[in-house]
Structure 1
Amino acid sequence: MGGLYTVGITAPLNAHLPKMQTAYRLTLLYIIVATLATAGTNGVAEAKPKVNVGRFALRGESGLDSGLASRSLSGDLTEAEAHALWLTSRKPTRRSTAQRRQASAAAVVEGSRFAATDASTGTSYGDLVYGTDGWTLSTSDTPSTLVYSRSSGFYARDSREAQRLTYTSQNASDPYRIFGVGQCYAGSPTTIGSGSSNVLCLVNAISGTRAGSRPDKVKNNLDPSGSSYVETNIWTVDYSKKTASPTWINSDGTAIPAYIVVAVKHPDIIFVTGDVAATSAHYGLEFRPVTLSYTNSS
């Protein structure tokens, strides 16, 4: 039975073998063709063209074409690559422009006469006059001139602190030119402030002191020996209001807003104090705080 079965099956199979082989070859061919057709989609056989990616033009280049560099990308662009392509192809955006370099404006030096007016009522007590007795107020004598500086143009400010005022003397040999505040005599107090009746005087010094420094011994018109303490770079000049006011530095380094005061019945008496009421009570005189205002001489 086995032999008959084998012969019976094999004979028909051999008869159909050529047709089966032909069908197999066609099927295999179809598979190969389909594979080749889809190879590009899978990124295997299809070659991607070059993509031009823009960049900023190199130094010395000109024109749009010269500002481009080519690189070859295989496969589809990713989101990151597409974003990079967009960034490198767009023109740079100017965010700000640096200010053109400018030369600093030179300081403007001005000379002015200074008048003392009541800080509350505006009553005038006269102009500052410098003489053999020091600084006094007068309504008849020729006013003295004090020189200050200010910035102009773009760098101009409304006020300037710790400024030095210089006296313009008619006497070329006069060594005391720098306007300041100091002891009325050697050994007198140098500390002023709220609750204190201590007073200082307007002086002219032979040399200046540093801004913000404590009192220093300097030769001045009230003490030519140089034994008394003085401060010079203490003036705040308000250019809009045209006023000048002092700030005194105590020996402990405390900055005190100082008041220039005048005795109402004796306007030739001028002091600098930190407490007007305490000073009036101590001397038994009515002292009034005054404002030093200036008018340009030119």
Structure 2
Amino acid sequence: MRAFTILSALAALSSAIAAPPVPSKASAYGDLTNGERLARGLPLKAPARRTKAARGSAASPVPSYTAKGHLLVRSAEDNRVLGYASNHGTVSSFITPDLDKALTLSVTLPVGATGGSQLNLAQVDSPNAFTSFGLVQDPFSTTTDISTGSSNFLYFSFTNDTPAGSSPQQPGNLPSDSYETALSSESAIWTIDIVSGTAFPTWINSDGMAATTQLFTQGRAFIAGGDPDAYYADYPANGGPITLTWVPAV
């Protein structure tokens, strides 16, 4: 009797191991289309959730608009108007008292915004092929960096675009063509507010850090550097500190 009981138990165990699992309704019907599920009287499958990444990839671009203006130059010492950035294509930008000869620039902003930083100022009416108005390395400076105690300086001039926040690049610029040497430049350097008139550049040094960027004149030309006193000590000239103001173009 004991042997019969053991054999019966072993047979039942063997049968249990060999029997395949019974599929659940979910696994049995999971691959059916909604049309097939309707034909069988089954509930429809829930709609698939879109992932956050999928939603982001389909996002529409932010709408933008373009504003045009001129750069008004004033003395930083007494706020006296000196003129406007000129539209004639030279190595460095000169100041003109004639509004008809003022350089026209454009800035692109998100709809609803009146300003921003690290912006490009596209040149509209200068007779050269370069896209933007920015800062270009002086060919006689020791490095592309500007700082306190250094007479290194930068030309305001025409350049092709460089990425926002980038260190000095060589995308092509007017001084490079004039001096027949590869000079570095930056275009996406501008902080602009078209309502308040705020307008100033910030140069990024070769280490990727924003440099204190001071603006001053050399005769009728206006330039930028890290230390006007050090500049005038090496390059004596009639000049002084200046500010720039965005003036809407009529």
TM-score (norm: length of structure 1): 0.57
Question: Which is bigger in relative contact order (C-alpha 8 A, separation at least 6)?
Answer: 2
Instruction: Name which one, 1 or 2, has greater alpha-carbon Rg.
Output: 1
163, 175, 195: which one aligns with 1:210? 163
Unmatched 5+ stretches in structure 1: 1-102
Shift in CA distance, 241/120, structure 1 to aligned 2, threshold 3 Å: farther
Query: 1:125: how far off?
Result: 1.3
2:84 aligned partner, one-letter code: D
- The residue aligned with 1:160 is 116
Deviation above 6 Å: which 4+ runs of structure 1? Answer: none
Instruction: Please give the residue correspondences for 1:1-298 in structure 2 after superposition, counting only pairs within 5 Å.
Output: 106-134=63-91, 135-140=93-98, 142-153=101-112, 156=113, 159-169=115-125, 171=127, 174-185=128-139, 189-205=143-159, 207-224=160-177, 227-263=182-218, 266=219, 268-285=220-237, 287-298=239-250
Distance 1:117 1:186 in 2: 27
Alpha carbons 2:192, 2:246 under 8 Å: kept? no
Distance 1:261 1:226 in 2: 25
Please give the per-residue CA displacement for 1:107-141, whole angstroms capped at 9, x wherever unaligned: 22011111101123111111111324242101136
Alpha carbons 2:137, 2:183 under 8 Å: kept? yes
Distance 1:234 1:185 in 2: 20
Structure 2 residue matching 1:130: 3-state secondary structure: coil
1:149 aligned partner, one-letter code: T
Alpha carbons 1:218, 1:226 under 8 Å: kept? no
Root-mean-square deviation over aligned CA pairs: 2.4
Distance 2:175 2:119 in 1: 22
Distance 2:197 2:148 in 1: 27
Shift in CA distance, 228/188, structure 1 to aligned 2, threshold 3 Å: farther
Query: What is the total number of aligned residue pairs between the two structures?
Result: 188
Q: Of Structure 1 and Structure 2, which has the larger fraction of its residues in strand?
A: 1
